[in-house]
Amino acid sequence: MNKNEQPDYLDLLEKCLMHWFWPEQNMDWNGNLGGIIPLDLKETGQAAWPSKSFTMIGRKRLRNIRDLIARAVADNVPGDFAECGVWRGGACIYARACLPLDRVVHVCDSFSGFPPDEPETHWTTYKCLAVSQVQVMESFEKFGLEDGVNFIAGYFSATLSQITSPLCVLRIDADSRRSTLDVLTHLWPRLSVGGYLICDDYKSCRLEPVFEQFFGAAPVVNDIDQSSIWF
């Protein structure tokens, strides 16, 4: 951008969601603060657990949301955006800014951490993963993006059937095999023809077998970064 151009709103928003303009400490699984996070780790989404950012997914994965929403809208693919597993809500806040207001953003999470009987039991012990619905709602309000947002609270197996509208983009950030399968079971049938599915941590959480089990064969995927994919 040259000095005569105006900053792009979505570019500024993604930096605010990542706490780009201010120093930010990392934190460990127990919420203890550590060193300052380098910007290159925020770019790639490898900042572990940021203490203040609204999202930990990094700029590449945020830009993927923006790109796929733009494609879906340009191609008149019908439906809303849904994310399953939202943490502090940053990706959904960004999606709300990218998506026309006549389409809804579905914010799906337990808002209390992982199910206690999740096979990946280690996730259930990390308190930093549990962010309340009130906190996430307040974050939408801080950015003035609370309109056209539908919160669905509870474990995916019991709540995702509430979504009955078509989806143009579905983003899965469940980080476990069973929860990912729950999302696919309930929401893959809602994804419109020509729509897009994103899976965060597809590689790092070794979720390939879940997709192969669900579809009967491994899908052909596109890499976003070192761990996440879309198709």
User: What pLDDT digit, counting tens, does each position of 162-197 carry?
Assistant: 999 999 999 999 989 999 999 999 999 999 999 999
Q: Which pLDDT score is estimated for 115?
A: 81
Q: Please write the tens of the pLDDT for every residue from 205-228.
A: 899 999 999 999 999 999 999 999
Q: 74-113 burial, b if ≥16 CB within 10 A, otherwise e?
A: eeebebbbbbbbbbbbbbbbbbbbbbeeebbbbbbbbbeb
Q: Which amino acid is at 111?
A: F
Q: What is the CATH number of domain 58-230?
A: 3.40.50.150
Q: Which pLDDT score is estimated for 179?
A: 93
pLDDT over 60 (residue 161): yes
What percentage of residues in the chain have a pLDDT greater than 90? 80
Q: Which pLDDT score is estimated for 46?
A: 80
pLDDT over 70 (residue 35): yes
Q: Exposed, middle or buried, 31 (CB in 10 Å: 0-12/13-18/19+)? A: exposed
For 192, phi and psi rounded to 5 degrees?
-65, 155
CA 224 to chain CA centroid, Å, is: 13
Under the banding of pLDDT at 50, 70 and 90, the label for residue 1 is very low
Q: Which pLDDT score is estimated for 194?
A: 98
Mean pLDDT of 38-60: 89
Q: Are residues 196 and 169 in contact, defined by beta-carbon separation less than 8 angstroms?
A: yes
> Which residue ranges does the chain devote to CATH 3.40.50.150?
58-230
Q: Which pLDDT score is estimated for 125?
A: 62
Q: Which of 7-11, 88-92, 177-181 has the lowest mean pLDDT?
A: 7-11
For 228, phi and psi rounded to 5 degrees?
-115, 155
Q: Tell me the C-alpha distance between 174 and 159, whole Å.
A: 14
Between 211 and 124, residue with greater pLDDT: 211
